[in-house]
Structure 1
Amino acid sequence: MNRAETRKRRRPAKACEPCRQRKVRCDLKQPCGPCTRSKSSVNCSYRDEAALSKQEGQFRVQRRPAVPPPPQPGGIGPPDLTPSSIGGETATPNDDLRQTVRELQERLDGLEARVTRGETRKVSSTQNSRLENDVRALTDRLQTVQNQLTSSSSAATVVSASDRTAIRAIAPHLRHSARKVKFLGPSHWCHKVDKLSISQLMTTKEPPEPALDNVKSVLKECRDLRQSIKSQRSVKLSDPFPNVRSTLPSRGECDELMQCYLRTFEPIYRVIHVPSFWAEYDEFWGQPRPNLSPFLAKLVLILAIGTVFRSGEGSLAREEYQQLAQIWIYAAQWWLAGPSEKSTCNLDGLQVSCLLLISRKACGLGPSPWLSAGSLMKMAMAMGLHRDPSNFPSLSPFQAEIRRRLWATVLELELQESLDLSLPCLVPPTVDTKAPLNIDDRLWTPDSTTMPHRQPNDEVTPASIQTLLYITVKLRMQVLEVIHHCQEQSYQRALDLGSQLRAACRKAAAFFSSANTDTDAEVESCKFQAKFIDIQLHRYILALHTPFVVQARKDPQYYFARKACLDSVATMAAYANALNLPADAPDDICRLFVSGKGSFKGPLSLDVIGPIGLELVTQLEEEYFPGLDGDPLDKLAGAGRDHLIETLEHILRQLFQIIAMGTPSMKRFGLTAAVLGQIRAMKAGRDIKGVVYEAVIQSFKDCLLALQMSSQRTEAMSGLDSAATAVDFGIPDPTLPGFDMDLTDSIFGLDFQALFPFPGIDNSMSTMLS
């Protein structure tokens, strides 16, 4: 290659950019002398920083790195790069801010180095002061840019390059009508089943000509009977403060109801100090007080919860206990929120509020929009329970520990309600209350000046279960935060949290397996709490993975979420096997399934029925081919599928038995029958629409017969406005005022959205019926 063909390399520029533009000699300092004298030092920068590094020796300005250095102490340092800056393909709105941060960081390092090395002694005092001002100005600018970058990053979540499996957040649904407005958040059960053919069928604009008349007539009769039964059973209190003391049964039966509560919910929701409450209980029977006092309000709520778990023996019938439970709950509710509400702003009022929420869910009344865990939390915060009692030296040790226990109970109720109602968690970030002590109630009293030493968390005490749940509070709050994120849901984040939740389930199972149970009552209590907590924790796993299960139907990379969801829902559904109405006398957890609302329904809830149906339909779409025998793998998958179908059929039979016992819970029964109809149609290769409508019509005909028998039994009773059944199985039924199905005020008296709340169903069904 000759000299003419050789390209001559240009010398790198050794002057700063301002000096090159002004064509003056630069001394290669930072800032250089000419820029300092021209009062433009803040703009002094170099194109080639290598030359400056050789000239300055120890003082060097580093090249801009491809990967940013770690943050400096004090929070000064460039933040992590976005996936686009790593890949270099696409730019994000934060790239300009990040570039500015790096430039300011380099210049600030140079100025601070000069000040530290004492080079400013060579200049005048005026220049020295100017240099210090420049350092402060750069520091302020850097902090301002970093604050802008932080706020921008929090406003729009940036997904890391390694997490390419994130999906868009589930769009929430809203039911809006003149009578009812309801927000259906991302953890609502309708999101688990709205991808089934049933939802598409119910939202179709094609009218089902022969089936519509049958559905209309059957539902109209069901609606009329339901309204009649509700009118007969509703509680009418002429006096908002009835003589509640006179409604209490004998002390022996009250003792039994107290024990029912203490062996079931009190170890989970620590509301009372048991020895102190027993002392007040004995004093109450010694000197009865007719007026509704704070103690009597707590007592009647405890007795109402106890009616759910009673064995069925005693002088009063089951329907009488059910009616009394309603009276007790409404009386305590009126005492709490009525004219005496100012006198309830104390720990007694907070305890009554906790018991009121638990009793409404356990006895079938369900949640109230005006009596929520959110208002309970506001009430607790107004009393300062979100701050640790160590901040208030005037509190006695007994008061301090009661406050910690009540705050843990408020947190538990808030987390459960957030998942039940599919709403974001309202736990404030400014909380410093410590966990309650793992100690036995018998070791401390209201007069104790010191508290006993905390026992290890793995040692069993009456407070162990609350301590066990409190450890998982932050984890479950993170799950709710991921579920309700408005932008995207990270698959990797969901996998990490799901793994931690499964570890928490295993830890809880190990705790209960190692618990010392000497008596039959302790064994029964331990079984109830183990099953209850296992169901509650698996509900978070189910809600966390459900959005990805829907995506897994078309993208196999989400298969693990589908498997985790199936494992959790199968675990929860397995607890329904112990429920065998009307043959067997159920245990405590089954009594709660029959009587409870929301998460207390356990395997009988739509949160379980929906995912099972979705999994079965997905398996049939993937593996079943009509007319072919299939390979051995298909047969093996078919065996597991048949087990899920049997589980769903068992749940359907139990739901019908509950209706036959006098509880018109038709929504779960009708939807389960429709899901099974779709599965049967897919297995037989038949038309899905026709089979589903046949199943829905038959299910409501069965409900109609059961409601007619219930109405006749109710009319035959004299002097008692409560539910009645021919056989007493020892299970209190949910009350009709809590029944949330609305079949009125719609075209032809039908409200399909109350049965199947899928998006767009109002307009589509109006078209069908017009």
Structure 2
Amino acid sequence: MALLADIVEIMEPYLVDEGTKVLVGLQKCKYLGKKIKAQRTPQWPVPITTTLPSKDICDALVDCYFRTFERIYRILHIPSFKKDYDIFWNSENRHDPAFLAQLKLVLAIGCATYDDQLSLRSLAIQFIYEAQTWLSEPEYKARLGIPFLQTHILLLVARETLGVDGGMIWIAAGTLIRTAVYMGLHRDPVQIPNLSKFASEMRRRLWNTILEICLQSSMESGGPPFISIEEFDTEPPKNFEDDHLTTEDSMPCPENQFTSASIAIAFRKTFPVRLAIAKFLNDTGGQGSYEEVIRLDARLRASYKELRRTVQGYPNPQPQFEILMLDFIIRRYLLSIHAPFFGPSFLETTYAFSRSAVVDTAVKLCNCARISSPSSGSFLNRSMPSPQIDFRRLTVFGSGFFRTAPLHASFLVAIELKSQILAEEGLGPVSLRPDLLSVLEDAKTMSLQCIEVGETNIKGYLFMSLVSTQIEALVQGVPKDEVAGMLINAAEKAEEKCLSILEPRAAKGQSEKISNAIESEPTTLPSEMGDDWDFMMTDVNFNFADMEPVSWMLGSIPYGMP
């Protein structure tokens, strides 16, 4: 973002007079966004209830969960959950709060890939609040066990996916891992006598998933991971099918045989290098050497090559959703390790490799998250296989790294395009890479579609509109004194488009029960709006040092994105 700060500097002198409409439009969007979010948010506390959608919808949501997140992060023992699920629907007594909390979180996560409009968002938020209330009850210690830990993990996944205070997952993950250590999950089950095969493998699976949640939250928050390989001896999960865990004399399947645990096992092998990257980026001791970047890059690429070889060696049909997810996550790490050296690469050839790695990885990451087919431009290309549709829905509806990673990548691509234009010395028209231009257009489309399906933060779309306009002005050779007018006009148009989406949504919620917080909000806009220009500040924030000239646009916060 610091490399795009000149956009703000160009606009700033004109905002007092010519840009007043821009500031008012932004404030209106923020006000409506807060109002919409308040309308969705239940009043705390929210006691858990037996209220559920129809069984057909619940069946579909459970299937959505099991064909996506459970394939990557093993949390539940699928046969046990399905057995309890059938008993739940066939019984007149549905008042087991422990199972209800777990079920409602599964349903909430399933909402993210249920349809093209995230039509059940409010229901998902309600379920998350109910589960949070139940987990917050004072009987904490008495409940400690595998089911409680599963529910705790599901809650963090649901909050991250649906954006319910998702920026605080790093803090919650600290509680989660300490709970697991208190229960002894950091010690391998062979150290604990008289454990059944089922208990042993569930402990390994849950510890493996907890490590992933803590590491991912570190990458998203910019906070230290507070995990060390030396502090646990729990082995990775064994290659068991879920059905085999209840048979004491069963043996794990060969490594090349695909089971429901295979992806988690294969992905665990990349954990040490990904943890090293998070420590390198977020260590409070300061940024490490560039030589260490090169070493980590080589380790990650070698580890990922081995992962791909393992996954591609499974018999057909290959696990398509899992491949998309793993590719997306690994590229996120690769992009992050080189991003700090992207800016310096324009001044020093020492970092030329990082510039090449950033551009190449950013394009591939954005292509992985592409929402529409290049030719049709539709929301979802219906010729895609179902796993690809599920993944595309996550990049639009999902919060956290699903949303931020492709958006950050697209801004890096924009910086590369801008630098290529400024470095052009020929007299003829500027020739730019079509794939880079396509990334920019896709990112703008994606940002708007996020708002259309319920996102209330317009800043990603607004700033992407400004970046695209600046690049267009540079390509056309627009005089500098005219660029500010183009940018202000682009901002006004972007805000008008967002207002046309947010206003009907806020009005629709007026007929429903609205929280006291909304009812007490002022109906007039505050006169001082400059400080609200904290662009790109989603639930996960950045740390921008030495950026006083653009403080009206970029807010300061404790931790920054890597």
Structures share fold, TM-score greater than 0.5: yes
In the TM superposition, residue 380 of structure 1 has moved relative to its aligned partner by: 1.0
> 1:304–1:517: structure 2 CA closer, same or farther, 3 Å change rule?
farther
> 1:693–1:328: structure 2 CA closer, same or farther, 3 Å change rule?
same
Aligned alpha-carbon RMSD (Å): 3.1
Amino acid at match of 1:222: C
Q: Which runs of 5+ in 1 are unaligned?
A: 1-192, 723-736, 738-742
Paired with 1:226 and 1:602, the residues of 2 have a C-alpha distance of: 19
Amino acid at match of 2:205: R
Paired with 1:460 and 1:533, the residues of 2 have a C-alpha distance of: 16
Partner of 2:341: 548
Contact 2:78 2:242 in 1 (8 A): yes
Counterpart selection for 1:685 from 477, 482, 490: 477
Partner of 2:23: 216
In the TM superposition, residue 753 of structure 1 has moved relative to its aligned partner by: 2.5
Partner of 1:188: none
Partner of 2:385: none
1:672 corresponds to 2:461 = no
In the TM superposition, residue 226 of structure 1 has moved relative to its aligned partner by: 2.7
In the TM superposition, residue 223 of structure 1 has moved relative to its aligned partner by: 3.0
Paired with 2:193 and 2:330, the residues of 1 have a C-alpha distance of: 36
Partner of 1:300: 104
> 1:368–1:601: structure 2 CA closer, same or farther, 3 Å change rule?
closer
In the TM superposition, residue 458 of structure 1 has moved relative to its aligned partner by: 3.2
1:549-568 equivalences under 5 Å are 549-568=342-361
1:79-115 per-position Cα deviation (integer Å, ceiling 9, x unaligned): xxxxxxxxxxxxxxxxxxxxxxxxxxxxxxxxxxxxx
> 1:583–1:709: structure 2 CA closer, same or farther, 3 Å change rule?
farther
> 1:476–1:288: structure 2 CA closer, same or farther, 3 Å change rule?
farther
Secondary structure, aligned partner of 1:543: helix
> 1:210–1:600: structure 2 CA closer, same or farther, 3 Å change rule?
same
Paired with 2:454 and 2:227, the residues of 1 have a C-alpha distance of: 38
> 1:227–1:477: structure 2 CA closer, same or farther, 3 Å change rule?
closer
In the TM superposition, residue 764 of structure 1 has moved relative to its aligned partner by: 5.3
Contact 2:10 2:484 in 1 (8 A): no
Partner of 2:321: 528
1:316-353 per-position Cα deviation (integer Å, ceiling 9, x unaligned): x963x322211111111111112333333222221111
Please, which moves more after superposition, 508-517 or 326-335? 508-517
Amino acid at match of 2:487: V
Contact 1:308 1:592 in 2 (8 A): yes
Counterpart selection for 1:347 from 136, 146, 157: 146
Paired with 1:662 and 1:367, the residues of 2 have a C-alpha distance of: 16
1:462 corresponds to 2:230 = no
> 1:650–1:285: structure 2 CA closer, same or farther, 3 Å change rule?
same
The higher-RCO structure (CA 8 Å, 6+ apart) is: 2
Partner of 1:404: 204
Counterpart selection for 1:413 from 192, 195, 213: 213
1:27-42 equivalences under 5 Å are none
> 1:338–1:497: structure 2 CA closer, same or farther, 3 Å change rule?
same
Partner of 1:453: 251
Partner of 1:479: 277
Paired with 1:211 and 1:382, the residues of 2 have a C-alpha distance of: 60
In the TM superposition, residue 432 of structure 1 has moved relative to its aligned partner by: 0.9
Paired with 2:92 and 2:364, the residues of 1 have a C-alpha distance of: 47
Paired with 1:511 and 1:267, the residues of 2 have a C-alpha distance of: 16
> 1:333–1:393: structure 2 CA closer, same or farther, 3 Å change rule?
same
1:131-186 per-position Cα deviation (integer Å, ceiling 9, x unaligned): xxxxxxxxxxxxxxxxxxxxxxxxxxxxxxxxxxxxxxxxxxxxxxxxxxxxxxxx
Paired with 1:543 and 1:534, the residues of 2 have a C-alpha distance of: 14
1:448-501 per-position Cα deviation (integer Å, ceiling 9, x unaligned): 434x33334333111010001111111111111222342442222211221222
- Per the normalisation by structure 2, the TM-score is 0.85
Paired with 1:539 and 1:207, the residues of 2 have a C-alpha distance of: 37
> 1:203–1:558: structure 2 CA closer, same or farther, 3 Å change rule?
farther
**Total equivalences in the alignment:** 527
1:565-611 per-position Cα deviation (integer Å, ceiling 9, x unaligned): 11111111112434355465581011111111111226643x22221
1:728-767 per-position Cα deviation (integer Å, ceiling 9, x unaligned): xxxxxxxxx9xxxxx9989337511255764455675579
1:191-230 equivalences under 5 Å are 193-198=1-6, 201=9, 206=13, 208-230=15-37
Secondary structure, aligned partner of 2:320: helix
Q: Which runs of 5+ in 2 are unaligned?
A: 383-387, 519-523, 554-562
Paired with 2:144 and 2:161, the residues of 1 have a C-alpha distance of: 25
Amino acid at match of 1:564: A
Counterpart selection for 1:387 from 187, 190, 197: 187
Counterpart selection for 2:411 from 598, 602, 610: 610
Amino acid at match of 2:335: L
Partner of 2:47: 241
Paired with 2:508 and 2:89, the residues of 1 have a C-alpha distance of: 36
Counterpart selection for 1:751 from 510, 515, 532: 532
1:47-66 equivalences under 5 Å are none
Partner of 1:621: 422
In the TM superposition, residue 358 of structure 1 has moved relative to its aligned partner by: 0.9
Partner of 1:599: 401
Contact 2:380 2:392 in 1 (8 A): no
1:687-728 per-position Cα deviation (integer Å, ceiling 9, x unaligned): 25443333223222221222223334445xx55879xxxxxx
1:427 corresponds to 2:227 = yes
* Seq. identity, %: 29
Q: Which has the larger radius of gyration?
A: 1
Contact 2:240 2:253 in 1 (8 A): yes
Secondary structure, aligned partner of 1:211: coil
